[in-house]
Amino acid sequence: MTTKKLLLLPGDGIGPEVMGEVSRVIEWFSGRNGVEFETETDLVGGCCYDAHGVAVTDETIEKAKAADAVILGAVGGPKWDGVDFSVRPEAGLLRLRKDLQLFANLRPAICFEALADASSLKRELVEGLDIMIVRELTGGLYFGEPRGITDLGNGQRRGINTQVYDTFEIQRVAGVAFDLARKRNNRVTSVEKRNVMESGLLWQEDVIALHKEKFSDVTLDHMLADNCGMQLVRNPKQFDVIVTDNMFGDMLSDVASMLTGSLGMLPSASLGDADKDGRRLALYEPVHGSAPDIAGQGVANPIATILSFGMALRYSFDMGAEADLVDNAVQAALAEGCRTGDIASEGEKTLSTHEMGSAIISQMEALSA
């Protein structure tokens, strides 16, 4: 029996409610197929600020580094709106990403058959959709120097942000995308704006060089970011893995995610570099926030967080069959008509967070029998 250590950070709002259901899924898996999951729960976000005056403690950061994977719920809420920016709930999440050097953000956009009609696009465009967007997360425009607002002294001010990428940053995130593509449909689309940005030109050249050196078995295409936005809503099924920088990835992953319906369904993973044993620091979390409008009511959809744990099984623990079981159990529960409020049509019966967790676990039992 091998033991995998999971650090659970439920956070604020609906975070603890959805994490409760993930804990049941983890418990279900623990001890099966030779893997035991050891979990520890800690504070991040507003709840951590209330307890310690910071959004995440040094001790928790160390625990996150030592864990085999971190699963996070959500942070934030109106209670902390007036708190200083440096200790705001979101600062805890940013520090985790930064200190763990999680440079690759993976956002799958999968269309669940039972929800195809809930998409903003026609059923035939999204039915069977399964794409993965890999966004560079620690560089580019959101971090580049110089940055700031300067007073020009003539009644004018100037706002500056700098898009800056080095070869190693481009190639390590592209490497993650190529690796993923090999486990999927073997195609990568690299996205930038080389027509107007030197950093885009470098991006393309560095991706091509890496491809030639190590991944020539994977099909590689290049697309301008504006065209990619258009193609995602015109014909999203043409893509397998998309790799792009921080800012374009921010926008394109939001566009892609909305093709598949509710925020309550969307998982994500953020990965760091692999060490010599192939172990990567990793954080898994739903795309949604703490949903203060429904927090405490027991009605939040736990699927995004359960699917995030499924991604941990796949990408941190190489447990593809178990990850498939989670995905298939969610498909099956939806196909049987299980709905939380966010994905229900008018008049449809809705389940509580806990009931949805139970429905998914029952399907896992049935599918693995």
Active site residues: 142, 193, 226, 250, 254
- Cβ atoms of 325 and 316 within 8 Å: the answer is no
Cβ contact 185:192 at 8 Å: no
- Locate 283 and state its tokens: 């954080």
Residues in contact with ligand NAD, counted by CB under 6 A, come to a total of: 23
Please identify, among the stretches 27-35, 177-185, 223-231, 288-296, the one whose residues bind ligand NAD according to the rule CB under 6 A. Answer: 288-296
Question: Does 342 help bind ligand NAD (rule: CB under 6 A)?
Answer: yes
| 170-184 exposure pattern, b = at least 16 Cβ within 10 A, e = fewer | bbbbbbbbbbbbeee
With 0-12 / 13-18 / 19 or more C-beta atoms within 10 angstroms meaning exposed / middle / buried, residue 273 is middle
In this structure, the chain runs to a length of 369
Cβ 155 to ligand NAD shortest distance, Å: 34
Give, as ranges, the residues between 138 and 197 that touch ligand NAD (CB under 6 A): none
In angstroms, give the least distance from the CB of 304 to ligand NAD.
6
Contacting residue, 133, 210, 300, 319, with ligand NAD by CB under 6 A: 300
Does the protein bind ligand NAD through residue 294 (CB under 6 A)? yes
- Per CB under 6 A, the segment of 125-133, 285-293, 321-329, 344-352 that binds ligand NAD is 285-293
Q: Which residue is nearest to ligand NAD (CB)?
A: 289
Q: Which of 16, 140, 264, 272 binds ligand NAD (CB under 6 A)?
A: 264
Q: Does 76 bind ligand NAD (CB under 6 A)?
A: yes
Q: Which of 289, 306, 311, 314 binds ligand NAD (CB under 6 A)?
A: 289
Stretch that binds ligand NAD, among 166-174, 188-196, 300-308, 310-318 (CB under 6 A): 300-308
Binding segment for ligand NAD (CB under 6 A), chosen from 243-251, 286-294, 331-339, 357-365, is 286-294
- Considering Cα of 111, then 114, then 119, then 124, what sign does the dihedral take? positive
Q: For residues 310-348, b (16+ Cβ closer than 10 Å) or e, as one string?
A: bbbbbbbbebeebbebbbebbbbbbeeebbbbbbbeeee
Residue 22 CB, nearest approach to ligand NAD (Å): 12
Under the binding rule (CB under 6 A), the answer on residue 301 touching ligand NAD is yes
Q: Do residues 105 and 270 lie in contact, with contact meaning Cβ atoms separated by under 8 Å? A: yes
In whole angstroms, the minimum distance from the beta carbon of 298 to ligand NAD comes to: 11
Q: Is 77 in the site for ligand NAD (CB under 6 A)?
A: yes
Residue 171 to residues 93, 155, 168, Cα–Cα distance (Å): 25, 43, 5
Interacting residues of 128 by C-beta distance below 8 A, sequence separation 6+: 111, 113, 237
Footprint on residues 130-149 left by ligand NAD (CB under 6 A): none
Residue span binding ligand NAD (CB under 6 A) among the ranges 22-30, 162-170, 213-221, 298-306: 298-306
Least distance to ligand NAD, CB of residue 93, Å: 6
The least CB distance from residue 81 to ligand NAD, in Å, is: 8
Q: Restricting to residues 45-74, name those near ligand NAD by CB under 6 A.
A: 74
Task: Find the shortest distance in angstroms from Cβ 293 to ligand NAD.
Answer: 5
The residue whose two tokens read 């994500």 is 268
List contacts with ligand NAD (CB under 6 A).
14, 18, 74-77, 90, 93, 263-264, 285, 288-294, 300-301, 304, 340, 342
